[in-house]
Chain A
């Protein structure tokens, strides 16, 4: 056995550099396209509604997760929800410290399964579970049909 625990960097050993030379183009899918088109064009969130069992879901789906029937009904639910949980983050995914901490929340909508995770533009001392929050969108001309069309959620 020769585990070289004292070596801190791979480059102190014989090595080859490598990478997986691909990038990705993810399609939004059928339901995802409806969600982001509604966000871009109408400035609203939509949920899917199962016409068999009544389950409402955000992000919307083309199938019901409960009864597995196909879904073709989508419902506008506005932009207002309730703060289900939140966190203040200090490090990015590479371990670098943010200049300014990021405050993130999980927002849920009454009577709807699922939720949206996004930035919060709310003073930390005001954050409280259950508080009403509303999405602040980019101006319609600047929206591109992506999750960044939502700038953040703010207090109602």
Chain B
């Protein structure tokens, strides 16, 4: 389609923590500097910058993109913020890809940052106003209500038990024990998850990722520059994004069609016709355990309703046929919204370069997919990477 080839040539992540002393710009700097150092570049080599961050109400700073600009190296550069809520972390590198694939620049820095600990007593208060002010806000909903409705519908549609869902939390929290950025890595068992505090049936405490502070960054480069910088470029082979209606009550709660549409867009660009066979490692977005299953199906990595069985059979473990969330995911590493999505992209980048350390999956993977989701529970963002 006339796009230039674009590679990821460097990546950086801060620790994900409950409350960071660092400000948003300071966290953005730490991730950006690490990514530039890994790429062997200086800020002066960066031509354009794109910054991803979720709602301003989390940090309590309006114009958050501008607030984070200096730490993301954006002073006196073509810099812009991109935003699709929870889908932002995978959309940010897609946005950076646009800059390089179009020929607008050869080197683009992509930065994602979130500081949710500023928001008191809890970020749920900020989430309240994503609901319709006339029909829903008077009921004082929380996000967990929505997810409980979605999880129940998904379970009922495919005859799944809570244990079928909880195995994802067990896998991811244990995987995160090997991630240096992890906030809530834990050697939990199935019983731990099932017996944890009930928040809104069927959702329990350990079914959910935490609120976090953290930042992540990647450096994107055109083919010519990438080949000069590294002998291990990881190519962005396909990108896709799709948004359904913002009124969540109209959607099929058991299946994310918008994720499928985003995935099909990315796969077509990447020349992938049989994703369940061609993709060797995946980072589906997992803010809740059932969402990983939901998203595996939306990403066409398995048949609808099959994801839980594959998880139970070990298919998605690091040693399985299709490892999912080898990083530990949002459930284990933590969930500083935009930074989480980019952390997932970075995990695929590291896996394909065989630089994931203890988290490295066997078999020299060559193709992987990362996906994020969110906004008003109706956006899918998908990126396919290839060695």
What residues make up the interface of A, taking CB atoms closer than 8 Å to B? 16, 18, 20-33, 61-63, 65, 67-68, 70
Contact = CB atoms under 8 A, between A and B. Distances in A.
B60 interface: yes
Interface in B1-53: 19-23, 25-26, 29, 32-33, 36, 42-44
Given A20-B129, A68-B36, A30 B118 contact: no
B126 A22 contact: yes
B228 interface: no
A13 B20 CA distance: 45
Name the residue among B29, B36, B121 with the largest chain A CB count within 10 angstroms. Answer: B29
Contacts of A32: 23
B125 interface: yes
Given A63-B33, A70-B33, A16 B57 contact: no
Contacts of A27: 19-23, 117-118
Given A68-B29, A68-B32, 16 more contacts: A16-B134, A18-B137, A20-B126, A20-B128, A20-B129, A22-B57, A22-B122, A25-B117, A27-B22, A28-B21, A61-B70, A63-B29, A63-B71, A65-B75, A67-B44, A68-B43
Contacts, number: 77
Contacts of B21: 27-30, 33
Contacts of B42: 67-68
A30 B19 CA distance: 13
Contacts of B129: 18, 20
Interface of B: 19-23, 25-26, 29, 32-33, 36, 42-44, 57, 60, 70-71, 73, 75, 117-123, 125-126, 128-129, 133-134, 137-138
A32 B22 CA distance: 9
Contact of A26 (B73, B118, B138): B118
Contacts of A23: 120-121
A17 B123 CA distance: 20
Name the residue among A22, A26, A28 with the largest chain B CB count within 10 angstroms. Answer: A22
Contacts of B22: 27, 29-30, 62
A68 B42 CA distance: 8
Nearest to A71: B29
A29 B26 contact: yes
10 tightest A-B CB contacts, nearest first:
A29-B23, A24-B60, A68-B43, A22-B125, A63-B29, A21-B125, A24-B118, A29-B26, A20-B129, A22-B119
Contacts of B75: 65
Nearest to A26: B118
A61 B36 CA distance: 19
B55 to A, nearest CB: 10
Contact of B121 (A22, A26, A28, A31): A22
A25 B120 contact: yes
Nearest to A21: B125
Contacts of B33: 63, 68, 70
A29 B44 CA distance: 26
B60 A26 contact: yes
A75 B23 CA distance: 21
Nearest to A64: B43
Contacts of A22: 57, 60, 119-123, 125-126
10 contacts: A16-B134, A20-B57, A22-B120, A22-B123, A22-B126, A24-B118, A26-B118, A27-B22, A29-B21, A65-B70
Contacts of B29: 62-63, 68
